[in-house]
């Protein structure tokens, strides 16, 4: 019986060998291209082919990237007078010409960024639960202790808080304000730039937070606009911080030093976190959202990740265009 099985196997092997080698060599057999198993079009499905042994979708679904806001043609963004908060330094006049200050009942309340001639970007928690009639917006403001004819004041016509804003963990902490009148853009007043690349990873980048927030924990707010440089942390570094993992979502990122010393602080909320873009301009990558105290070890600042909201911004700027960076 064993001899019979052996002979049968031997016969099959010889038959296969002579059959393959008898094929004409101009036919693309697997013997000619041992790793090109199949190259046949599927007959019953126009979207699928069998190519090199794998099923390939030749008509894959298109990825729906969010559309950017419309672009203006008569202005540029993200350019101020260059000079090169807790642990920070005073910003120079005109260094951040898109920075706005919001007052509530006559007292400084939050920061924000001028996005268009009519719209301001800020944090949702700066507005949620308040009455817009109690607010006033200032642009061109540098020092609250000094008056200046260059400062422009506006009231709020309306605002849009993100529909999924969570007041508990501050997820989707983003809002857009529409002012009652437009602001002339150009010269001393510029708009902020949005990120051009939706997928860029800013981890390790040196960013700048600006605001009139407290200069020490529990101290007074600053009368002058201040800035502080902070590294953007990885998700792993942020997870190692003292915040509960359930508190931070994928719509947030951390920036700061795990050892503390420098940070944004109370009062800086709503202001921008900026990095230098590819054309030398500054672009907003985050909105100051929350932190534990000010510059405490293991508690870096947490920022709203702006790249997650480019489509949302387009839908909430009422068709208004944004200024592009100078290229």
Q: Which residues are catalytic?
A: 125, 173, 269
The full DSSP string for 1-54 is: -HHHHHHHHHHHHHHHHHHHHTS-TTS--TTTSTT---EEE-SS-TTEEEETTE
Cβ 322 vs Cβ 114: under 8 Å: no
Instruction: Using DSSP bridges, classify how beta strands 119-122 and 107-114 pair: parallel, antiparallel or unpaired.
Output: antiparallel
Q: How many CB atoms lie within 10 A of CB 207?
A: 23
The dihedral built from the CA positions of residue 176, 177, 183 and 187, taken in this order, carries a sign that is negative
Using H for helix, E for strand and C for coil, what is the string for 241-293? CCCCCCCCCCCEEEECCCCCCCECCCCCCCCEEEEECCCCCEEEEEEEEECCC
CA dihedral 166, 282, 210, 247 (to 10 degrees): 30
- In angstroms, the CA 96 to CA 81 distance is 7
- In angstroms, the CA 269 to CA 272 distance is 9
Instruction: Using DSSP bridges, classify how beta strands 175-179 and 135-139 pair: parallel, antiparallel or unpaired.
Output: unpaired
């Amino acid at each position: 019986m064993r001899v019979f099985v052996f002979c049968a196997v031997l016969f099959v092997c010889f038959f296969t060998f002579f059959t393959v080698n008898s094929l004409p060599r101009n036919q693309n057999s697997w013997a000619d291209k041992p790793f090109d198993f199949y190259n046949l079009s599927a007959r019953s499905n126009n979207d699928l082919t069998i190519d090199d042994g794998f099923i390939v979708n030749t008509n894959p679904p298109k990825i729906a990237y969010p559309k950017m806001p419309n672009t203006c043609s008569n202005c540029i963004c993200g350019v101020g007078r260059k000079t090169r908060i807790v642990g920070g330094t005073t910003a120079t006049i005109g260094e951040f010409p898109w920075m706005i200050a919001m007052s509530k009942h006559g007292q400084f309340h939050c920061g924000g960024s001028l996005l268009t001639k009519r719209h301001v970007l800020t944090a949702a928690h700066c507005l949620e639960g308040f009455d817009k009639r109690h607010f006033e917006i200032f642009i061109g403001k540098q020092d609250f202790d000094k008056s200046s004819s260059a400062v422009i004041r506006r009231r709020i016509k309306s605002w849009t808080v993100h529909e999924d804003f969570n007041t508990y963990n501050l997820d989707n902490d983003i809002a857009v304000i529409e002012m009652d009148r437009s602001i002339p853009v150009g010269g001393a007043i510029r708009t902020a730039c949005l990120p051009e690349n939706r997928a860029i990873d800013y981890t390790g980048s040196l960013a700048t937070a600006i605001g009139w927030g407290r200069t020490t924990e529990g101290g007074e707010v600053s009368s002058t606009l201040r800035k502080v440089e902070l590294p953007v942390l990885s998700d792993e570094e942020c997870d190692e911080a003292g915040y509960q993992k359930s508190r931070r979502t994928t719509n947030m990122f951390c920036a700061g030093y795990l050892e503390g010393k420098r940070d944004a602080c109370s009062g800086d909320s709503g202001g921008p976190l900026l990095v230098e873009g590819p054309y030398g301009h500054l672009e907003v990558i985050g909105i100051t959202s929350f932190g534990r105290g000010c510059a405490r070890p293991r508690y870096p600042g947490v920022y709203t990740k702006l790249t997650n909201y480019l489509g949302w911004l387009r839908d909430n700027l009422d068709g208004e265009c944004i200024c592009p960076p100078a290229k």
